[in-house]
Structures are given as structure tokens and as C-alpha cells.
A and B are shown apart, each in its own frame.
Chain A
Amino acid sequence: MSAVLETHNHDHHGPAKGLMRWVFTTNHKDIGTLYLWFSFTMFLVGGCMAMVIRAELFQPGLQIVRPEFFNQMTTMHGLIMVFGAVMPAFVGLANWLVPMMIGAPDMALPRLNNLSFWILPFAFLLLLSTLFMEGGAPNFGWTFYAPLSTTYAPKTVTFFIFGVHIMGASSIMGAINIIATILNLRAPGMTLMKMPLFVWTWLITAYLLIAVMPVLAGVVTMMLMDIHFGTSFFSAAGGGDPVLFQHVFWFFGHPEVYIMILPAFGVVSQIIPTFSRKRLFGYTSMVYATASIAFLSFIVWAHHMFTVGMPLAGELFFMYATMLIAVPTGVKVFNWVTTMFRGSLSFETPMLFAVSFVVLFTIGGFSGLMLAIAPADFQYHDTYFVVAHFHYVLVPGAIFGIMGAVYYWLPKWCGNMYNETLGKVHFWLSFIGMNLAFFPMHFVGLAGMPRRIPDYALQFADFNRISSVGAFMFGATQLLFLYIVINTIRSGKPATAQVWEGTDGLEWTIPSPAPYHTFTTPPEVK
């Protein structure tokens, strides 16, 4: 804390020079940048794995990879996208934006911030190194159900367990930092109910992280003990129960899906008012809806396991509780649409991502409602319908939210405007590619194609081919995104401080690019 105070005395203090700047930095903007680049790297790595999966599924039969390797690809793709791409991207956005939005000079715990980023690359090195080891990478699915991940796991599972421990520790430290920053470092006059919605959604997300990441650490620790120390948490032979694994895992896993979507809700709630040139409709109800979603996420976990043989009362409880989540989510969608209603809309790239977020996330929400119907879930369970559902909430949900945020705030971060034409091309290619890839999965899923298989029955061939073409299109388009971002940083046109016409918020009151130190004297918020 005192280190930060000292830097206030000399305003010309800029970043250190050279590579060591990034290793030792405690600046929230530097760390935000590190998180975002790390996340993009992981996005490309996980994306390459998705390309392998789609290439194998391009036609029936086994062409490119062996089934064992295919299983490693589906597992690693899921783990890397969830823990390596989406979560660090949101932490990166929080690092950049939360202090600027609440008028704080930096995060509350800058050194912890450095640590929580720098342990992350090691977690993923551990995880990725298993690809080159004897026995291969984890192959039991990203949900790592016991006993597949214990009794029948490859030996490399221990690397996976320690990797999860490290990324869990990183997330927990990040969450503690964000909560401490939001609760303690707000500028005078910035009351809780005046905070931008992105800050609100992150505050709630951080509490979710604090509540469930330790449970994830607990469940992998139990696996570790079952594998190496002879306990029987999940082994029926020793008096344990494999179904217990699923309960503990999904107690973490369901709040986890909201951890990946709530910050995107926040991003969209910032972008839509700007390009509608209106205030956000129903700010207070947005805050309460987010909090209700977070609360409900703790009591719905068993809807992932309707088919394990729960009693009827359990099925009904989890079915109704799950459907209840549609109410606060509906409130949010209603508010976004009402914000746009009779606004003077313009469709710059961030707005395109935000509007498609609202439409496509709602499709994902509706397929989620279908899956919530316990009797119907017996048909959908473990089919491509589930794959279609969660890719519809994660790709146009979380990923489009992140991309929209990058286009929206990039001019503020680097001081240059991105190329609007290229941005729109990137959006439309992503939009078309993503829908081509994931929409047909609904149909093959309903027709009975199981997930996580390298080969399939002939009647699914056409839809799978369409999916693969769409996936290749979506994947290749992200290289354009990389080009646009680099091009903007290097040679974009200078941006104004306000950047967008209708912006509102403290981050737009500082110059573009944002100086290395901002709000060293707290702004007054009226």
C-alpha cells in the first residue's frame, strides 16, 4: 500500500523499461494487459484444439486423430477455454476497468495482483505439458467425473490436479483483490448504487469465486487423495460414492457458469446505453437481478445430473429452481431491449457484439430452459444439444462480451481508434461462423448424437459438415481480431478522451491513452 502512496509524489513516474517491467509490475493497467494477452493466447491454443475436434468430425469415421487423442482434445479444449481464456479475460478487464470506473488509483493489493497473474502461466504449462507425456493429457472430459478421473485416469492426472490448484489460487487472490478494491477504494460520493454495472457484476462474481473456487480445490484434493493416498471418497469399493463427485463438482460448476457470464452482463450493460444514447433502463433492477442469479446459482447444481437416479422430489426441486433463474435473466434482457427502445441507435462494432449478445445469449438461455425440464432432459442428456446450449451461452455470451469490451475500451487503453470497417468484418464473420458451427448441433443433438465421440452415425454427416465449416470460419476470423488489435495499438488514429459520443462514467474523463497512473487524487462524484 505504501509503495503506491509514494508514487503519488512524482507524477512523471512512468513504467519501467524492458521485459522486467512486466515481471515486477504492480500497476493495474499493466496487469490487466498481461491478463488479456494471456487469455488471448489461451483462446488460440484452445481454439486450435477445437479445430482438431471439428476436423475429425468433418465426416463420419476416423480420419485424422485416434479416439484417445480426440478425448484429450475435448478435455483440454474445455479446460483451457474455461480456466485459461474466459476467466482470465474477465479478470484482465476488471484490472483495467474497475479502478478507473470507481476513481481508484490502483487495485487495493497491487503485489497480490502481480502474484495472481504470474502463477497462471505455470498452471497452464503444467496442464499443457501433459500432452507430451507418456499416457497423454487428461482425457476424461472437462468435468473430470470420477472414477474416469481417478481409477481409470492417465498418470498425468496429477499434473492436472496441481494445475487446477494453482489456477484456483490465482482466481481466489484475484477475487479478494477485486472485492477489497470495490469496497474500500471508491472515490468520495461513489456510493454502491452509483457504481457502473460492470463493477457491480464483478463484485458479485468475485463473491461467487470466493465461495466456489475453494470447493473445486477441495474436490481435486479428494481426487489426489483417492489416487495417491488410498482414500475412497469416490470409490464404491472402499465405501465412497462416484455420484458424490458429481454433487461436489457441480456445486462448484454451476456458480462457475455464472462466473463466466455475469461480467459479460456488466459489459453489455455499459455498451448498450452508450450506443443507444440513453441511460440504462432499470439500473436498480439490474443490480438485484444479478444478485438473485448469483444466489440461485447455488441451489440448482443437480440439474446437471438428472439422470443419476435422484428421487422425484429432488428432480422437481432442481427443475423448478433452475427455471426460476429465467426470471431475473428475463429482467435483464427486458432492460437491455428497453434501453434500446426509441434510442438513437448506431451500430459500431462494440454495439454489434452487444446486440448479438442479447439475441444469441437468449437463444442459449431458452435451450437451457429446455434442458431444465427434468423429464425431457433424459433425452437431451449428454447429446450435442447440450454442446449447442453451452456454446450458445459461452461463445456469443462470454466471448462476444469480451470482444465487445475490447473494441469499446481499446481506444481508451492504447489511445488509438481501431479500424471500424475491419471491426465490422470481424464481427460479421464471427457471427456467421459461430451460428453455422453451433446451430446445427441442436438438430443432431435432438436426433441423438452423443457428445465427446470421434465418430458418428451416417445420418449426422451433413449437419456435422456444416458445423465444421462454421467452426473453421470462426477460428480463422480470430486471427483477423489479433491483426486488428495489433494494428490499432501500432498505427490507429488517435482517439479522443470521450472516445464515444454517448459515454458516461469516470473512465472517459481521463485522457486517451489512459495515463500510467490515474486518479491519484480521488475525483469527486456527484
Chain B
Amino acid sequence: MPNRTNNKVILRLIVAVFGMFGFGFALVPLYNVLCDVTGLNGKTAGQYEVTGTLEADQSRFITVQFTTSNNAEMPWEFHPKEAMIKVRPGEINEVFFVAKNPTEHRMKAQAVPSLSPSAAVEFFNKTECFCFTQQALEPGESIDMPLRFFVARDIPEKISKLTLSYTLFSLPEVAAN
């Protein structure tokens, strides 16, 4: 019986099995890279460093809407101070979001952003955002959280309205207390 060819086939198949197990995990970074490159899922990028000076495009306005929602079982109050602003491309704007912890215990939270339409993601730059860090609030405490951003000047003409939504998640380790 062809023992040697048997072992060769089996060895190759076992390597393939482990390779595919690894490939399953490799899909995670692949997916994230794909989303970063294409802006799918409305995933906005991290902190943007402004280099040089920005010049506002005085010829048009972009409407930016802000919406917020709480993930299930997240008791915080969370809303934008202004629901909608008009901005000029290339001009840095600052808006605030209000969060309040109405519970009896200290809680930590993380806001996760999503921008729509996803074609606009690469033109939306945040120079500062509360979503870059976790927020911790004492019982009854409330804070105003800043978001500083600008819309790049080369955003296509056909995009005139953006919607930025934040979902607030409670961080489980702390919520369990």
C-alpha cells in the first residue's frame, strides 16, 4: 500500500486545515483594512493632524446632521447640543455632545461613530473627538463632550448632506459593578 504518498497527502491536508483556521482570523484585519480603504460601514478614521493652513471654501455649504443612540441596556442620557449645522468645506467646526449618567454608580462608556453616506468618509476629518477615548462618569455627573472636525474641500459636489451618528455602549466590566 502506498504509505508514503498517503503521508504526503495527509500532511498537505493538515497544513491546509491549519492554514484555513488562520485564514479565518486573518479575515479580521483584512476586513478592517478593506473598510478603512473604502470607507465601507461608515467607519471614520482616527485623529487627523492638520498640516499647513486650511482655507474655507466660501462657495458652498455642507449640512452635517448629528444623531445619537444608546446601545441596549445603556441608561445614559446622550444627545447632541445642536442636531444640525451648516459648515463650509475646509473650515474647522466645534460641536458638543451632552452625556449624563443618571444611575447610582460610576460607569464607563465608549461612543462608536458611523458616517453616512459612506462615500463621504474619506473627506470627513476629526481633529478631536470624544469617541477617541472612553468616558467615565460619576453618579449623576454630566459632561459636554467636544467634537472638532472639518470637511475636506475636495468633497464631491453631489454630496451636500452628511449624517454622523454615535452609538453609546456601556463598557461591561464597569457596568457589572
Which residues in window 6-45 of B have CB below 8 A to A? Answer: 6, 9-10, 13-14, 16-25, 27-28, 31-32, 35, 38, 40-41
Distance in angstroms between the alpha carbons of A211 and B13 in the assembled complex: 10
Distance in angstroms between the alpha carbons of A183 and B7 in the assembled complex: 12
CB distance from A172 to the nearest CB of B (A): 6
Enumerate chain A residues within 8 angstroms of B38, measured Cβ to Cβ.
Answer: 311
Main secondary structure of the interface of B (DSSP, over half): helix
A217 interfacial contact with B, CB 8 Å:
yes
The answer to whether B31 touches A241, judged by C-beta atoms less than 8 angstroms apart, is yes
CB distance from B172 to the nearest CB of A (A): 8
B50 interfacial contact with A, CB 8 Å:
no
The answer to whether B71 touches A214, judged by C-beta atoms less than 8 angstroms apart, is no
CB distance from A155 to the nearest CB of B (A): 15
Which residues in window 103-156 of A have CB below 8 A to B? Answer: 108-109, 152
Enumerate chain A residues within 8 angstroms of B35, measured Cβ to Cβ.
Answer: 241
Main secondary structure of the interface of A (DSSP, over half): helix
- Nearest CB to that of A219 among chain B residues? B24
Enumerate chain B residues within 8 angstroms of A243, measured Cβ to Cβ.
Answer: 41
The answer to whether B24 touches A248, judged by C-beta atoms less than 8 angstroms apart, is yes
A179 interfacial contact with B, CB 8 Å:
yes
B76 interfacial contact with A, CB 8 Å:
no
The answer to whether B10 touches A217, judged by C-beta atoms less than 8 angstroms apart, is no
Which 5 A-B pairs give the minimum distances between C-beta atoms? A218-B24, A237-B169, A214-B21, A214-B20, A215-B24
The answer to whether A218 touches B10, judged by C-beta atoms less than 8 angstroms apart, is no
With A217-B24, A248-B27 as known contacts, state yes or no: A1 contacts B6, CB within 8 Å: yes
Enumerate chain B residues within 8 angstroms of A5, measured Cβ to Cβ.
Answer: 1
Enumerate chain A residues within 8 angstroms of B5, measured Cβ to Cβ.
Answer: 183-184
CB distance from B3 to the nearest CB of A (A): 6
Enumerate chain B residues within 8 angstroms of A219, measured Cβ to Cβ.
Answer: 24
Enumerate chain A residues within 8 angstroms of B173, measured Cβ to Cβ.
Answer: 230
The answer to whether B6 touches A310, judged by C-beta atoms less than 8 angstroms apart, is no
Enumerate chain B residues within 8 angstroms of A1, measured Cβ to Cβ.
Answer: 1, 3, 6
Distance in angstroms between the alpha carbons of A252 and B16 in the assembled complex: 15
The answer to whether B14 touches A176, judged by C-beta atoms less than 8 angstroms apart, is yes
**Residue among A109, A233, A236 with max Cβ neighbours from chain B (10 Å):** A236
- Nearest CB to that of A169 among chain B residues? B17
Distance in angstroms between the alpha carbons of A243 and B25 in the assembled complex: 15
B67 interfacial contact with A, CB 8 Å:
no
Enumerate chain A residues within 8 angstroms of B18, measured Cβ to Cβ.
Answer: 214
B147 interfacial contact with A, CB 8 Å:
no
A376 interfacial contact with B, CB 8 Å:
no
Enumerate chain B residues within 8 angstroms of A314, measured Cβ to Cβ.
Answer: 40
Enumerate chain A residues within 8 angstroms of B10, measured Cβ to Cβ.
Answer: 109, 176, 180
Chain A-chain B contacts (Cβ-Cβ < 8 Å), number: 101
Enumerate chain A residues within 8 angstroms of B65, measured Cβ to Cβ.
Answer: none
With A109-B10, A176-B13, A210-B13 as known contacts, state yes or no: A237 contacts B110, CB within 8 Å: yes
Instruction: A215-B27, A236-B167 given; name 18 further pairs at CB < 8 Å.
Output: A176-B13, A184-B9, A212-B20, A214-B17, A215-B20, A218-B22, A219-B24, A222-B28, A237-B112, A237-B172, A239-B112, A241-B31, A241-B35, A247-B27, A252-B24, A309-B118, A311-B38, A314-B40
Distance in angstroms between the alpha carbons of A176 and B13 in the assembled complex: 6
- Nearest CB to that of B170 among chain A residues? A237
Enumerate chain A residues within 8 angstroms of B1, measured Cβ to Cβ.
Answer: 1, 4-5, 184-185
A251 interfacial contact with B, CB 8 Å:
yes
Distance in angstroms between the alpha carbons of A310 and B16 in the assembled complex: 30
Enumerate chain A residues within 8 angstroms of B3, measured Cβ to Cβ.
Answer: 1
A370 interfacial contact with B, CB 8 Å:
no
- Nearest CB to that of B134 among chain A residues? A237
CB distance from B155 to the nearest CB of A (A): 17
B2 interfacial contact with A, CB 8 Å:
yes
With A210-B13, A251-B27 as known contacts, state yes or no: A237 contacts B71, CB within 8 Å: yes
**Residue among A108, A184, A235 with max Cβ neighbours from chain B (10 Å):** A184
Distance in angstroms between the alpha carbons of A309 and B43 in the assembled complex: 12
With A219-B24, A244-B31, A311-B118 as known contacts, state yes or no: A179 contacts B9, CB within 8 Å: yes
Distance in angstroms between the alpha carbons of A180 and B10 in the assembled complex: 7
B171 interfacial contact with A, CB 8 Å:
yes
With A237-B110, A237-B112, A310-B40 as known contacts, state yes or no: A244 contacts B20, CB within 8 Å: no
The answer to whether A179 touches B13, judged by C-beta atoms less than 8 angstroms apart, is yes
Distance in angstroms between the alpha carbons of A238 and B111 in the assembled complex: 10
Distance in angstroms between the alpha carbons of A241 and B31 in the assembled complex: 10
CB distance from B173 to the nearest CB of A (A): 8
- Nearest CB to that of A109 among chain B residues? B10
Distance in angstroms between the alpha carbons of A31 and B81 in the assembled complex: 69
The answer to whether A215 touches B23, judged by C-beta atoms less than 8 angstroms apart, is yes
